[in-house]
Each structure stands twice: as C-alpha cells, then as structure tokens.
Amino acid sequence: MTTKRTRTLTALSIAIAGAVSAGTATAAASPTTPESNDPAKVVVIGLDGTMLDHIKTANTPNLHRLMAEGTTGSSSILGHPTISGPSWSTMLTGVWNTKHGVQDNSFNGARFDQYPTAFTQIERADPALRTEAISTWGGIATIAGSGSPTADVVTTTPDAGSEGATDTATATAVANEIAGNGPDFVFTQLDQVDGAGHATGTLGPAYNLAIEAVDLEVGRIVAAVDERQRNTGERWTVLVTADHGHRPLGGHGGQTPAEASTFVIVRGGGYRAGGIDNGYTMADIAPTVLEILGVPRPANLDGTALAKDAPVPPPVAGGSTGAALPSWVPTGS
C-alpha cells in the first residue's frame, strides 16, 4: 500500500533513565558471546507484498543468509483480507481481523482498545522498554500510534522521490536506531516490492528487481544488528515477513493463493538454522515478539509463539533429486 504518507512523531517518551540503568551498562562491558541474562531484542522487517517463492529465485543473498541461519515458514491467509491494513494489524496484535476489526486500509472499526498492539502490551508490561515503528507506509503509524500507551517512537518516512529511495531512508533510520539506541522492539515496513507488484505484476523483471533492492536494505539492517550484538552482547532476533502476495498480473485484495501467500523468516533467539516451520500463521508475529521480550501474553490471542524446534530437512546426497532440500538451503562448500 503506497498512497498514504503522513508523518507522525509521537511521544519521544524514551525512558532514558531506564535505558541507562544497570542492565544495559553491564551488558556493554560483556564479551562478544551473548549470555542468557543479556537483554533480548527483536526487529521485525515487514516486506509489503513480497512472495517467498520470488525471494528464493531472485538474487537475494541477505535473505538467503537469514533463511540458512534461521527458520523459515510459508503460509496462507486465505479467508483473511489480502490487504495491508488488516494484515499488519493481525501481525501486530496477534489476533485475526474478526477480532481486531480492521477490514481495509481505512482502519474504520479498529478495536485496538480491546486487542492492543504488541507495542501497547510491551509498554504496559515495562515502560522502560523502548519500542519503535519506523515505516514507509503510513498505515503502520496508525497501528503503532493506536491504543495506550503507544510505541515510544512512531515515524513514517517522508517521500524521498521514489519508493526505493523512501525505503532506503526507512532502512537507514532503522539501522541508525539499532546502532545508537538499541530499541527492545523495532518494527519496520518497506514498500517498494508492493509498488512493483501493482505496477507490472510478479511475472516481469521489475518485481524481482524490487525484491533484490529490498534485500540490500534488509542486509543493512541485519548488519546493524550483528554489529550491535558483537559490541554489546545483546541477544537479537530478526524476523522478516510479508502482509500478502500479488496476482501474477499485479494487485491483491482477493482470495487467490498467490494473493494470500505469506511467510516468516526468524533468525536468532534459539531458532534452528535451516529449519522449516510448517505451522506458521500470520497471527504468530506478536506472540513471538512478546515471548522473546518476556512479556506476558494475553489469553485472547489467536496466534502462538513460533516453535523453536522446527525440523531441518536432511541433506540430499549429490543434490540430484532435490526432493528433500529446498534449493535455497546452502549445501555446503
């Protein structure tokens, strides 16, 4: 979704006192291997309208690395609107649209008071935790700025002239926040792949080229995570996900399998390298974030935290059949 561009900058209630408290200070002095009592942090990277099948076939070294180092799940949201507003709301609340009430990008009927976002739940559990939403599409700011309390930082990147340039500005802001402030939970959404899907569909070269461009932005964010983890001992989990797919000729909002396709990649936090999660649903993102941060999960969530014991497909001798090993899993040397 690309039309709304608002800039919201709420409550920089940054809880500086909390950030400078003992936990952070001692972690900074610890060596490079994270200890179990070092702070857990999580970044969720939302790739609007991006399909896993295309990530696998495009030149995406950064996303391929995350898949090799983490667990991947593909899923469908058939029965749920294949639209950004409802999908990001499902991910960020942990309940389906039948509960959170968002049916389209108007956000009319949203019930974030009844089904609060992960930002709200984290802030209620511990106001000293730093939560941020930094996105290209303004709808994310609507979600992250709803409820009470909201995320500590809610920004929509100003239009930089092209979707690619705006995504670069978004990713730069996220990388800078990770490097400088080490937020406990930062959510970001990048929009150019959805734009390419709308413009020319998924069959032509533009869609995969947009995925390759966004892969570079993912790489910059992950580099900031890895650098901070090395320097602080913080234990970071990276999640990558998408809100919907696209029809081959472009567009979404209907109930074809392509439009309803979604996925997750989760790296760090004890998730198995090369694992394949066959049970992932879109409603699992918020519960997973809450579990990582040790925040109690409300009983009324539809999703559950992602399983850490996802099976790892056995290697295929010679790679001749390709039956068991997905092509994107590195086969070694």
* Dihedral angle sign, alpha carbons of residues 48, 54, 57, 58: negative
Q: Which stretch binds Zn ion (CB under 5 A): 1-9, 175-183, 260-268, 271-279?
A: 1-9
Shortest distance, CB of residue 57 to Zn ion, whole angstroms?
A: 21
Shortest distance, CB of residue 189 to Zn ion, whole angstroms?
A: 12
- Position with the least CB separation from Zn ion: 194
Footprint (CB under 5 A) of Zn ion, residues 230-269: none
Strands 235-241 and 261-267: antiparallel
Single-letter code of the amino acid located at 81: P
Residue 46: helix, strand or coil by DSSP? strand
Q: Which stretch binds Zn ion (CB under 5 A): 129-137, 194-202, 268-276, 319-327?
A: 194-202
Q: Which stretch binds Zn ion (CB under 5 A): 12-20, 112-120, 149-157, 193-201?
A: 193-201
Q: Which stretch binds Zn ion (CB under 5 A): 190-198, 271-279, 281-289, 308-316?
A: 190-198
For residues 1 and 141, which CB has a smaller minimum distance to Zn ion in the complex?
Answer: 1
77 exposed, middle or buried (CB, 10 Å; 0-12, 13-18, 19+)? buried
Strands 261-267 and 131-135: unpaired
Helices 285-293 + 118-125 axis angle, to 10: 20
The contacts of residue 229 (CB under 8 Å, 6+ apart) are 34, 235, 236
Footprint (CB under 5 A) of Zn ion, residues 289-308: none
Shortest distance, CB of residue 156 to Zn ion, whole angstroms?
A: 16
What does the CA dihedral 193, 256, 116, 99 come to, rounded to 10 degrees? Answer: 170
Q: Which stretch binds Zn ion (CB under 5 A): 26-34, 120-128, 192-200, 217-225?
A: 192-200
For residues 149 and 251, which CB has a smaller minimum distance to Zn ion in the complex?
Answer: 251
Residue 194 near Zn ion by CB under 5 A: yes
| C-alpha–C-alpha distance, residues 144 and 152, integer Å | 9
Shortest distance, CB of residue 194 to Zn ion, whole angstroms?
A: 4
Shortest distance, CB of residue 38 to Zn ion, whole angstroms?
A: 39
Footprint (CB under 5 A) of Zn ion, residues 269-288: none
Shortest distance, CB of residue 332 to Zn ion, whole angstroms?
A: 38
- Count Cα neighbours of 278 within 13 Å in the Cβ-side half-sphere: 3
Binding site for Zn ion (CB under 5 A): 1, 194
